[in-house]
Amino acid sequence: MTVISRRTALKLLTLSAAALALPATARRLPPAVAVERALFPQSVASGDPQPGSVVLWTRLAPAAWGQDVVLEVAEDPGFEAVRVERAFRVGPATDGCLKVKVQDLEPDRAWHYRFVAVGEDGVQRASPAGRTRTAPAPDADRDLRFAVMSCQDFNGRWYNTLLPLLGQELDAILHLGDFVYETTGDPSFQDGAGRRIVFEDADGALSLGDGGFQAARSLDNYRQLHRDYRTDPVLQQLLESAPLIAIWDDHEFADDSWQDVATFHDGRRDERDATRRRAAEQAWFEYMPADLGGGFEGASVDDGALHPNARIWRDFRFGKRAALAFTDYRSARPDHLVPEDAFPGGLAYDEPALREALPKIGETFEEWRPRLQPYVHLSDPDHRRWRRPLARALTRAYRAEGLATDVVRRRVRAILSEPIALPVANAILAKHDAGAPFFLDAGQIPETDDMPRGLSWAGVGKSRLFDAVGSRYFVLAEGYGLLAALRAAEIGSALGEVQSAWLDATLARHADADWRFIGSSVSFTPLRLDLRRPEVQAPPAWAHEVLLNVDHWDGFPVEREAWLDRFAGPGAVLLSGDIHASFASQHRKSVVEFTVPAVSSKPLGAILARNASGDEATRAAGARLAEHLDGLLRAGYPGLRYAQTRRNGTVLLEVGQDTLVARYFEIEGERVGECLYDDPAALAGALREAWFRVEREPGRLLLEPIGARSPAFTR
């Protein structure tokens, strides 16, 4: 084993690779150095490839912190033609992570790299070798191949869906978010059996739910998520083979988050936590080989690069063939339009407000009046006698939610001081009377023709005091559509003004590319379900047309349609994730979208089936909904060409000059709970593929299924 001194290591050559390969006499390390994975437990990765640069990454185990770590970049896998040698040191400031940007590389070629730890005794121990690739030069004219993925839960799940990507010659791996999950066993979507994260800093984590699971809060919690996820051998092998381009979604911080606000408690308490958000971002910048956020060469992540200043949107050019713009949906977006703690009987808009606002969106109050709910003022003499029974019922309901007495009192007082939708008021009174002695019966408030009408939160789908249903999920399509149209001008952009301006400029700057790809962590595809269809056999309370998930772009339909119109000008292929399902959509004549399934997280259909609750009839209807979900989604949106909600998977994009092929590699969700890493026969039997082609014509992108066929692609 060759030995060099620390003093010699500290004199290693510059990081620039502008010179030719180093002569043997200039080398400080031999080509052959023994690999010791225990010193590099998260292996290596590369990312953010440009024609002349790439970011290289590793993490050194704590036992070797303070030692010299030498980065080598070579033209060959044997490390005979070394272009870069340079020494660094890492420690607790970055949790042992080392992120280095190597510049002055030639475009469009493979590079081999490794990190070598040099002990106090001079003994050298290497990381696994990685292979990366610089992007083609702007004038290069060749085809491309990208892997696209999203949502890789570690808890009780295995990354079998990554196996078909191993051995592919990739230009880049595009990860659209949810690289880690902040919870350690949320029973609504995570499995309790199998491998699982257990926080070492349990006191620094948030304890949630009756099952005793936790969510990350401290910096060590978030770092541990990245540490543990990156120990998976298949994920390591994939990241060792090609550069990664990643963005975050919500679970890198908190489920369904916006800005620095989590939604675990559905409005029962204020969940804004800037310190927690900054911890999540710091860990992401440390562990991702992204040319963002500082934290290079063993230095701490730049404090000024964290929330509220974090910026992860960026664009890449791969020769003439493709331009890629990656966006951030979470950091600047406003709150969900329907507050999780909205009282169902409260009004989003009363009649005077609607009469003023509806003409501004091309509607009239008279047209909408039959679809709005009558409401009452309990301060009116005719309705005052119902004030006390409503107060008693509401007080009991809010106490049952675990709220403190003073909080309950304030909420009830506020509700009774405002108009209440008549159907909600009468439903509460009926429940009151069912449990009250006869002499306390309140009876129902009679409806009269002259009652004013408004848009209540119940008219948007809210039916409980604190709930994601009716606020983030399963909202009434008609009522929510009206609310979104009325609020569009006042809520601002989901992407924020600065990012929106950047995206517009990026589309214009790359107008000459053959293909323009937009990476979004959430899908633009509408998820509209008509639960009145006979196959659902829905109970009356369900029998409506609903939007399944307004945490996605369905939550901002006016802005979504505006973006789709802007994308249609130059033409674009949208790449999205988060929803744990596969979709292929034709949004406009020149806008298509591929929504990728989850790598390992529980598929959408399985989540719906698992969370169906209530009485026997409701549970049965939930099972039927999950069973027929794919067909309901296709029926709800004519642009949806493919919908699959029961399988995990990844997508391989093959990009030619005028033809793009998307290959979906999919595995039944149950098989992701098994480790198939050493069972290729079982993997082959479980694997399903769906192929789609996009033909590029003047002013048109035509999406069509093609089965297992692909045109020839050249390098």
CB neighbours (10 Å) of residue 367?
9
Segment 692-708 shows an average pLDDT of: 93
pLDDT of residue 614: 67
Q: Are residues 686 and 557 in the same domain?
A: yes
Q: Are residues 439 and 299 in the same domain?
A: no
Q: Are residues 289 and 157 in the same domain?
A: yes
Task: Say if 714 falls within a structural domain.
Answer: no
Query: Can you read off the two tokens belonging to residue 637?
Result: 């949106």
Segment 542-550 shows an average pLDDT of: 95
Segment 495-516 shows an average pLDDT of: 97
Distance, CA of 547 to chain centre: 18
Backbone phi, then psi, for 31, in 5-degree steps?
A: -60, -35
Using CA atoms, how far apart are residues 552 and 578, in angstroms rounded to an integer?
9
Nearest to 348, CA basis, from 477, 488, 256, 486: 486
Q: What is the four-CA torsion angle of 201, 204, 207, 211, rounded to 10 degrees?
A: 0
Backbone phi, then psi, for 309, in 5-degree steps?
A: -100, 0
Task: Say if 712 falls within a structural domain.
Answer: no
Q: Are residues 61 and 186 in the same domain?
A: no
Q: How many domains does the chain have?
A: 3
Q: Are residues 421 and 564 in the same domain?
A: no
Inter-axis angle of helices 422-434 and 387-400, to 10 degrees? 80
pLDDT at 17 > cutoff 70: no
Query: DSSP secondary structure string, 185-249?
Result: --TTT--SSSS----SSGGGSEEETTTTEEE--SHHHHHHHHHHHTT-HHHHHHHTTS-EEE---
Task: Say if 138 falls within a structural domain.
Answer: no
Q: Are residues 674 and 569 in the same domain?
A: yes
Segment 541-554 shows an average pLDDT of: 95
Segment 587-595 shows an average pLDDT of: 98
For 183-209, how does the pLDDT look when each residue is reduced to its tens digit (9 = 90+)? 999 988 898 788 999 999 999 999 997
Task: Say if 139 falls within a structural domain.
Answer: no
Residues 272-294 as b or e (16 or more Cβ within 10 Å = b)? ebeebbbbbbbbbbbbbbbbbbb
Q: Which of 80, 111, 133 is the last residue of a domain?
A: 133
Q: What percent of the chain has pLDDT over 70?
A: 94
pLDDT of residue 120: 87
Binning pLDDT at 50, 70 and 90, where does residue 21 land? low
Using CA atoms, how far apart are residues 12 and 368, in angstroms rounded to an integer?
74
CATH number at 107 reads: 2.60.40.380
Backbone phi, then psi, for 217, in 5-degree steps?
A: -135, -45
Q: Which of 133, 162, 181 is the last residue of a domain?
A: 133
pLDDT at 12 > cutoff 50: no
Binning pLDDT at 50, 70 and 90, where does residue 15 land? low
Q: What percent of the chain has pLDDT over 90?
A: 87
Q: Which stretches does DSSP call E strand in 3-155?
A: 44-50, 53-59, 68-74, 82-88, 97-102, 110-118, 124-126, 130-133, 144-149
pLDDT of residue 436: 74
pLDDT of residue 383: 92
For 250-302, how does the pLDDT look when each residue is reduced to its tens digit (9 = 90+)? 999 999 999 999 999 999 999 999 999 999 999 999 999 999 999 999 999 99
Q: Which of 442, 467, 489 is the last residue of a domain?
A: 489
Q: Are residues 155 and 169 in the same domain?
A: yes
Task: Say if 711 falls within a structural domain.
Answer: no
pLDDT of residue 707: 79
Nearest to 310, CA basis, from 336, 284, 273, 287: 284
pLDDT of residue 28: 77
Using CA atoms, how far apart are residues 371 and 7, in angstroms rounded to an integer?
79
Query: DSSP secondary structure string, 156-203?
Result: T---GGGGGGTT---SEEEE-S-SS-SBS--TTT--SSSS----SSGG
Using CA atoms, how far apart are residues 30 and 334, in angstroms rounded to an integer?
55
Q: Are residues 506 and 473 in the same domain?
A: no
Binning pLDDT at 50, 70 and 90, where does residue 708 land? low
For 330-379, how does the pLDDT look when each residue is reduced to its tens digit (9 = 90+)? 999 999 999 999 999 999 999 999 999 999 999 999 999 999 999 999 99
Nearest to 314, CA basis, from 98, 97, 131, 50: 50
Task: Say if 154 falls within a structural domain.
Answer: yes
Amino acid 234 reads V
pLDDT of residue 713: 41
pLDDT at 668 > cutoff 50: yes
Task: Say if 557 falls within a structural domain.
Answer: yes
- Among 11-15, 474-478, 526-530, 653-657, the range scoring the smallest mean pLDDT is 11-15
Nearest to 32, CA basis, from 119, 129, 99: 129
pLDDT of residue 715: 37
Instruction: Say how many residues make up the chain.
Output: 715
Q: Are 619 and 567 in contact (CB under 8 A)?
A: no
Sheet architecture: strand order including 97-102: 97-102, 53-59, 44-50, 244-246, 172-175, 144-149, 647-655, 659-668, 687-697, 700-705
Query: Can you read off the two tokens belonging to residue 375?
Result: 């409401």
Task: Say if 267 falls within a structural domain.
Answer: yes
Using CA atoms, how far apart are residues 142 and 323, in angstroms rounded to an integer?
13
Q: Are residues 326 and 368 in the same domain?
A: no
- For residue 308, say if its preceding peptide bond is cis, omega within 30 degrees of 0: yes
Inter-axis angle of helices 387-400 and 405-416, to 10 degrees? 140
Binning pLDDT at 50, 70 and 90, where does residue 19 land? very low
Q: Are residues 284 and 377 in the same domain?
A: no
pLDDT of residue 1: 38
Rounded to the nearest integer, the mean pLDDT of the chain is 93
pLDDT at 107 > cutoff 70: yes
Q: Strand, helix or coil at 394? A: helix
Measured between alpha carbons, how far apart are the two ends of the chain, in Å?
40
Backbone phi, then psi, for 523, in 5-degree steps?
A: -85, 145
DSSP percent split of the chain into helix, strand, coil, nearest 5:
30, 25, 45
Angle, alpha carbons 485-487-490 (nearest 5°): 130
pLDDT of residue 72: 97
Q: Are residues 122 and 172 in the same domain?
A: no
Q: Are residues 647 and 677 in the same domain?
A: yes
Using CA atoms, how far apart are residues 29 and 12, in angstroms rounded to an integer?
10
pLDDT of residue 492: 87
Contacts with 435 (C-beta within 8 Å, 6 or more apart), sequence order: none
Give the H/E segment covering residue 515: strand 515-520
For 410-423, how does the pLDDT look when each residue is reduced to its tens digit (9 = 90+)? 999 999 999 999 99
Give the H/E segment covering residue 277: helix 274-287
pLDDT of residue 30: 87
Backbone phi, then psi, for 449, in 5-degree steps?
A: -65, -25
Looking at 588-688, list the stretches that DSSP marks H as alpha helix, in order from N- to C-terminal side: 604-611, 616-627, 629-636, 680-686
Using CA atoms, how far apart are residues 698 and 496, in angstroms rounded to an integer?
32
Binning pLDDT at 50, 70 and 90, where does residue 23 land? low
CATH number at 166 reads: 3.60.21.70
Q: Which residue has the higher pLDDT, 450 or 210?
A: 450
pLDDT at 122 > cutoff 70: yes
Q: Is 161 exposed, middle or buried (0-12, 13-18, 19+ CB in 10 A)?
A: buried
pLDDT of residue 6: 36
For 598-645, how does the pLDDT look when each residue is reduced to its tens digit (9 = 90+)? 999 999 999 998 887 666 878 888 899 999 999 999 999 999 999 999
Structural domain for 77, as ranges: 6-133
Q: Strand, helix or coil at 700? A: strand
Segment 68-86 shows an average pLDDT of: 96
